[in-house]
Structure 1
């Protein structure tokens, strides 16, 4: 996710929260607040409507939310909340302090409307994700969302994995953390090797979520770095 995508995600979230605090909002007001064109705001409003937010246009006045509408906990699925947490890691690498502050505040408000169980998972994922910006390589993976889910729900995963020697093997793993450097890396306990290993996501050929839960590993990501580096 690049800066422009993350910036838009932050703005959409902030607009939605802004609707909770004012009866009527104008496109001009939003364009001034977020320093974007009114045309951009029109697109943002349409995106929110397509996402199911009941926005009413009052001619000559502006936009308002349908009476009684509040952001419900079910508005964000667990996977959607996970995606927002991952985006937060990217935002924290940005050098614009005001942008970081706005997005961090938005994330805190999102966490506030999550169910307690999902809130704990969101916090766990925040603690177990590290994102380093790298514009030199393209990261290819279609498993990130499922691995986030496995990590926060302590589900074992079966993968067919090709290592650097081009040898493929089947592994049962216990996801622990997600890191992004030159590639997306999964830190996981490998039951075959009986130790923690790094797995490049673009080397995972197939992946199957298992029904078996594993016991949470009683250490932080920093504890892992201290022990294995």
Structure 2
């Protein structure tokens, strides 16, 4: 976590406690840093004018009425944020859904009052009662592999029912309702491939990192203009025939 994000979280945690004392130990556990780091951060916040009372070893209280500078959003921008977050809450994995909920809560905490009510009552919805092909593994783990550039392995069954063992470099994820697709560099085919996540079993995250190489990156994949929508609609796996 970046220090700027941690300072923001310290203020948010104190605000939630209201007039109750917030201990450095509780802050350090919540933010996964040492108590010494919390002491230093709180001192820096106090020095910058944040009205925090208390001391090390006792605890801290954020004075009532303090707020961060308001974020200035247009009503259409709020609609975009809320709809996007609600789609993520309904269609993504549990970890990403929780993150979307936290994003909305953070924005609500710092926007002006006149917009807060509009944000809470916007009529743009993303119902959770929709059909999506079931995925048998943790999508959050695959997202982590994409983010950290970790190779993954799995067993894949193509449109013809033929199975194969794959080791791939995951490059990108895309949702074409009702299926999720993974774009990857496949070491078995020595080429780019797209995989339907609902056809993946025995998924495993490895500790092997990969570095971007010319001809094997997401940019290279997109330049090839792979037919992602056809893959989803026709249940076709490009190049695996």
TM range (shorter): 0.3 to 0.5
- Structure of higher RCO (CA pairs closer than 8 Å, 6+ residues apart): 1
Higher Cα radius of gyration: 2
* Superposition TM-score, scaled by structure 2 size: 0.44
* Superposition TM-score, scaled by structure 1 size: 0.46
